[in-house]
Amino acid sequence: MSDVFESPEVTASEDAVTEDISQLAEAQLQRDEYLDALQRLQADFENYRKRVARSSEDAAQRAAGSLVASLLPVLDAFDLAAAHFAATPSEEATALNQSRALLLDALEKQGLERLAEAGVLFDPQVHDAVAHVEGDQDAAGEQVVDDVLRAGYRWKGSVLRPAMVRVKG
């Protein structure tokens, strides 16, 4: 009976099964490699997509900031004209102030912030001190903005132009 189990057909069949198992293991290994490669490729593509979106958004922000910076002389001209007409109320002065307010409001809704407050602590990051007057100085020796000579502007958190100020203290 033992001769039946030792026949060449059984041995050939065992060899075929062993070969099939090794081919299956190799195919599974290759499948896992392809899956890993695909997952890496998907992650790389997702990172690329995010990087391109960020770059595009940054470019749009820079372009908008550049446009707003080019409009600052227009705002300065409105400020000077409003100061000139402040003493004499007229229809022209009213129209000028309304136009100025419309432009400033539209820009503020997009992210422009006006830096033109007197009485605040001097901050060299947002103020450009062009004059100094003696005045009361507190114990800490802090300087205070006495007068704003030209308004400064901040666009979405970064200073476009510092405010030109006179400092007291």
pLDDT of residue 6: 59
Q: DSSP code of 50?
A: H
Q: Which of 64, 81, 77, 73 is nearest to 161 (CA)?
A: 73
If pLDDT is split at 50, 70 and 90, which confidence band does 54 have? Answer: very high
Mean pLDDT value across residues 22-36? 94
* Rounded CA separation 71/123 (Å): 24
Compute the mean pLDDT over every residue in the chain, rounded to the nearest whole number: 87
- Looking at the DSSP bridge assignments, the partners of residue 159 are 154
Are 76 and 151 in contact by the 8 Å Cβ rule? The answer is yes
Q: Summarize pLDDT for 87-114 with one digit per residue, the tens.
A: 888 888 889 989 999 999 999 999 999 9
Buried b (16+ CB within 10 A) or exposed e, 29-47: eeeeeeeeeeeeeeeeeee
Which comes out higher in pLDDT, residue 8 or 26?
A: 26
38 has pLDDT over 80: yes
Q: Which domains does the chain have, with CATH numbers?
A: 113-169 (2.30.22.10)
pLDDT of residue 31: 95
1 has pLDDT over 60: no
